[in-house]
Amino acid sequence: MDVLEIKNLHVSVEDKEILKGLNLTIKKGEKVALLGPNGHGKSTLLNAIMGNPRYKVTQGEILLNGENVLEMKVDERSRKGLFLAFQNPVEIPGVISADFYKSALQEHSEKRMSLYQFYKVLDNASQEVKIPFEMFNRALNDGFSGGEKKRNEILQMMLLNPKIAMLDEIDSGLDVDAINTVSECINKQYEKENTGFLIISHYARLFELVKPTRSAVIINGKVVLEGGPEVYKRIDKDGYERIKDELNISIENDNEKTMNQVSIGVCATKEIIKNAK
């Protein structure tokens, strides 16, 4: 069974430590809702898992089925089954989407793929995400609207069929119909392949549609709270203040306050991950 384990992960960006001993495990068949206040390290975690060179792992481990992910090159991580849908997908001038997808798909499959096979797969996927097929003869995301870019990320997820799919605010900027489309795609992928999902969102709407099996909350660069779907529901209702108070955490500001050693509050229904040290 596929499992992604993150152990005591410390990550710095431009010499500033953002993740400070983060622990999290995602298994195949799980949909984990990842929440946390702005700027507390959610995207940093996903970028570090995918191997973005800007994010320096200074300590800790990332394992995919026991294999050391940190030793893998970025493209290898993808071929091993990790996928990241970016919070802000880039536009790449001149790089034709269809050409790029074909190369990517080829890298993921053992057999040589014919052009016919490829176009069939792409055609199907484009119908699922409701982006006209012709758009893929244009440069990658070039002139795409914000919502189209997001749907384009989902399309690539479907093409590459990852073991663990990480979606960074896939719902931001989507209109109501598009949110429905995107969640249908996520649900189909889940039902068909039992893919593991790590889903970042600030809104309960998406979660209501994709029905996470678990929730995890990142504050100050650590997972401070894990639990079932009730956790994201509570955050949607009460915000982070209550949780913070219960766990006796002060949310760090940019001025370098030393973090309170997190003491673990009583929260019967929730499993609380012990902080390192």
Partner 1 sequence: MQNNFEEKNISFLNEKNQEINISCNEKINLNLVDNFDGELTIFLQKDSICNLRIFYKENKNSLVLRTFLSENAELNVYFADFSIGNSSLSANSILYGNEAKSTFKYSSISKNNDAKNYHISFSHIGEKTISNLEGYSVNMNESKLKVEGVSHIEKNSIKSKAHQKIKGILFDKESVAIANPILKIDCDDIEASHACAIGSLNDNHLFYLLSRGLPLKDARKLITFGYLNPIVEYFDEKDKEELKTIIEREFN
Ligand X SMILES: Nc1ncnc2c1ncn2[C@@H]1O[C@H](COP(=O)(O)OP(=O)(O)OP(=O)(O)O)[C@@H](O)[C@H]1O
Residue 117's binding partner among Mg ion, ligand X, partner 1, none (Cβ under 5 to 8 angstroms by kind) is none
Site mask, Mg ion, residues 39-58, x = CB under 5 A? ---xx---------------
> Rounded to an integer, what distance in angstroms lies between the CA atom of residue 145 and that of residue 147?
5
Taking the complex as a whole, the smallest distance from the CB of residue 13 to ligand X amounts, in Å, to 4
Q: How many residues are there in the chain?
A: 277
Residue 53 makes contact with partner 1 by CB under 8 A? yes
Taking the complex as a whole, the smallest distance from the CB of residue 110 to partner 1 amounts, in Å, to 13
Residues 61-100 that bind Mg ion (CB under 5 A): 87
Reduced to 3 states (helix: H, G, I; strand: E, B; else coil), residue 269 is: coil
Residue 137 makes contact with partner 1 by CB under 8 A? no
Distance of CA 98 to the CA centre of its chain: 24
Q: CA geometry: angle at 81 spanning 182 and 69, to 5°?
A: 125
Taking the complex as a whole, the smallest distance from the CB of residue 120 to ligand X amounts, in Å, to 36
Helix (H) or strand (E) holding 233: helix 230-238
Which residues touch 226 (CB under 8 Å, ≥6 apart)? 24, 214, 215, 216, 217, 270, 271, 272, 273
Q: Which residues bind ligand X (CB under 6 A)?
A: 13-14, 18, 36, 38-44, 54, 87
* Bridge partners for 167 per DSSP: 85, 199
Residue 188 makes contact with partner 1 by CB under 8 A? no
Pick between residue 86 and residue 232 the one whose CB is nearest to partner 1: 86
Residue 44's binding partner among ligand X, partner 1, Mg ion, none (Cβ under 5 to 8 angstroms by kind) is ligand X
Pick between residue 74 and residue 250 the one whose CB is nearest to partner 1: 74
> Rounded to an integer, what distance in angstroms lies between the CA atom of residue 214 and that of residue 230?
9
Task: Please classify residue 169 by burial: count the beta carbons closer than 10 Å to its beta carbon, then call 0-12 exposed, 13-18 middle and 19+ buried.
Answer: buried
> Rounded to an integer, what distance in angstroms lies between the CA atom of residue 126 and that of residue 119?
10
Residue 39's binding partner among partner 1, ligand X, Mg ion, none (Cβ under 5 to 8 angstroms by kind) is ligand X
In this chain, which of 36, 89, 147, 227 binds partner 1, going by CB under 8 A? Answer: 89
Pick between residue 43 and residue 156 the one whose CB is nearest to ligand X: 43
Site mask, partner 1, residues 139-178, x = CB under 8 A? x----------------x---x------------------
Residues 220-249 that bind partner 1 (CB under 8 A): none
Residue 14's binding partner among ligand X, partner 1, Mg ion, none (Cβ under 5 to 8 angstroms by kind) is ligand X
Q: Look-up: residue for tokens 């990852």?
A: 162
In this chain, which of 104, 251, 264, 276 binds partner 1, going by CB under 8 A? Answer: 104
Edge-to-edge strand list for the sheet holding 67-68: 16-27, 3-13, 55-64, 67-68
* Long-range residue pairs from 230-238, CB within 8 A, at least 24 positions apart, any chain: 230/269, 231/33, 231/35, 231/270, 232/33, 232/35, 232/204, 232/207, 233/204, 235/35, 236/203, 236/204, 236/207
Question: Applying CB under 8 A, which residues contact partner 1?
Answer: 50-54, 73-75, 77-79, 83-84, 86, 89-90, 92-96, 99-100, 103-104, 107-108, 139, 156, 160
List residues binding Mg ion (CB under 5 A): 42-43, 87
